[in-house]
Amino acid sequence: MDRIRIVGGNKLNGTIPISGAKNAALPLMIASLLTDETLILDNVPRLADVAQLQRILGNHGLDIMAAGKRPGDHEYQGQTLHISAANIIDTTAPYELVSKMRASFWVIAPLLARMKEAKVSLPGGCAIGTRPVDLLIMALEKLGAELQIDGGYVIAKAPGGLVGAEIDFPKVTVSGTHVALMAATLAKGTTVITNAACEPEIVDVADCLNKMGAKVSGAGTTRIVIEGVKKLHGARHTVLPDRIETGTYAMAVAMTGGDVQLAGARPELLQSALDVLTEAGATITPNNEGIRVARNGAGISPVKVTTAPFPGFPTDLQAQLMALMACAKGSSHITETIFENRFMHVQELARFGARISLDGETAIIDGIAKLKGAPVMATDLRASVSLVIAALAAEGETTVNRVYHLDRGFERLEEKLSACGATIERISG
């Protein structure tokens, strides 16, 4: 199994290109099931999760062509996928495929909307709490689907097709909003989703659906209205830049010092995180090429942060911020409100010497002057990169084990960091 070796102490200087957003690319790929014409997606990141979803979609009979590089392409530009669901030959998504990635459960929505039936295994994915699918099932039932759970599978039928409805989510759910949005595009009549998630990735999917002929308005607000149409057609869409990758590298620069241009990043996608970084002592400068992040000489100031749905501080940056605060001058408080069981990185950060204590859903981090390198183990996708951030600033050598978690969400991490002066390498086997 691959490991990553890092020798800490180098400042980061240069340019890091930001990849397409994983959390938009996956639902966009799934949306291809809604039409029998070809959907072309540009700037798709090369990630393990994307490859896994290609296998899942292939199982349904989709043809997926990944276009090669073109003259003038930058080496980090994402791939272009041509996805054709002209002939869906199987409406079952089996356990052995879905169990590896939670988002793949969302295929239930377009399969049900277009084929009027689906049989999808209950999901797997990161071990960060229960993240049940009950809200997704509730949304589909509101749209007129008949659902039952049998042998670990959700079996869904809508013989007469789905029908528009009012869907009021009792709590904000990104996955529930994606599923309701996709299913409602082909439902008869109008669907209104209230207490919808406002994440930029939802807006990106809605934009793509509209290019395909859907009638979606209000994406990015808590109230989304979808007027159902009979058929969607093909389209071409570019995946938006990854705000979590942007925030991760911004924190790496704040941690190590230096000056890095995050090329292609969009500040409005993560303003709350950029505000926290400014408070911590980094200099954030949006420009025409993206975002420039620098920290030269000044120490890291402690912060108090509570994770919240967009536009609040993202739960997917909580672990990275905790690594940064391990070297702050004073005590920081980070409260996690989105996922239970999302502090698994605490014991691994402690191996660097970080002083972190937990009080319910709040972590108190007492900053120390210097972390020390150590062998550590990645526990989930976002937590694993917090160990890389800590290692970049730690004295001596760190080995990060179980890096397949990193490969699920960060494209060419070692290459991007080493190009800016980090001593980092992948050790295979």
Instruction: Identify the CATH number of the domain in which residue 30 sits.
Output: 3.65.10.10
If asked whether residues 189 and 254 sit together in one domain, one would say no
Distance, CA of 149 to CA of 153 (rounded, Å): 6
Comparing CA positions, the residue from 235, 149, 134, 217 lying closest to residue 181 is: 217
Whether residue 221 is found in the same domain as residue 101: yes
Print burial letters for 263-296: b (CB count within 10 Å at least 16), e (below 16).
bbbbbebbebbbebbeebbbebeeeeebbbbbbe
pLDDT in tens, the chain (429 residues): 899 999 999 999 999 999 999 999 999 999 999 999 999 999 999 999 999 999 999 999 999 999 866 666 665 678 999 999 999 999 999 999 988 888 899 999 999 999 999 999 988 544 434 456 889 999 999 999 999 998 889 999 999 999 999 999 999 999 999 999 999 999 999 999 999 999 999 999 999 999 999 999 999 999 999 999 999 999 999 999 999 999 999 999 999 999 999 999 999 999 999 999 999 999 999 999 999 999 988 899 999 999 999 999 999 999 999 999 999 999 999 999 987 777 889 999 999 999 999 999 999 999 999 999 999 999 887 788 999 999 999 999 999 999 988 999 999 999 999 999 999 999 997
Predicted pLDDT at 318: 96
Q: Which of 238, 272, 307 is the last residue of a domain?
A: 238
Cα 166 vs. chain centroid, distance in angstroms?
Answer: 27
Identify residue 82 by its one-letter amino acid code: H
| Predicted pLDDT at 380 | 82
CB 246 within 8 A of CB 16: no
What integer pLDDT is reported at residue 383 of this predicted model?
80
Residue 207, classed as helix, strand or coil, is: helix
**Whole-angstrom distance, CA of residue 205 vs CA of residue 272:** 22
Is 7 in the same domain as 46? no
> How many structural domains is the chain composed of?
2
Boundary residue ending a domain (206, 238, 270): 238
Examine the domain organization and report whether 234 and 339 are in the same domain: no
Of 223, 238, 253, which marks where a domain is finished?
Answer: 238
Same domain, 230 and 172: yes
DSSP 152: T
Exposed/middle/buried for residue 335 (C-beta within 10 Å: 0-12, 13-18, 19+): middle
Residues at the binding site for phosphoenolpyruvate are 22-23
Token match 């975002």: residue?
291
pLDDT at res. 128: 37
Q: What is the DSSP letter of 216?
A: E
State the catalytic residues: 126
Annotated binding site: 22-23, 102, 131-135, 316, 338
List b or e across 151-186, with b for residues whose CB sees 16 or more CB atoms inside 10 angstroms. eebbbbebeebbbbbebebeebbbbbbbbbbbbbbb
| Same domain, residue pair 327 and 401 | yes
290 and 410 both lie in a single domain: yes
Residues 6+ apart with CB under 8 A from 279: 301, 303
Check: CB of residue 424 under 8 Å from CB of residue 417. Answer: yes
Q: If DSSP codes are grouped into helix, strand and coil, which group holds residue 311? A: coil
Whether 129 and 142 map to the same domain: the answer is yes
**Whole-Å CA distances, 126 to 83, 249, 383:** 26, 22, 10
- Binding-site residue ranges for UDP-N-acetyl-alpha-D-glucosamine: 102, 131-135, 316, 338
What local confidence, expressed as pLDDT, does residue 371 receive?
Answer: 98
**Reduced to 3 states, what is the DSSP secondary structure of residue 93?**
strand
Domain span at residue 224 reads: 22-238
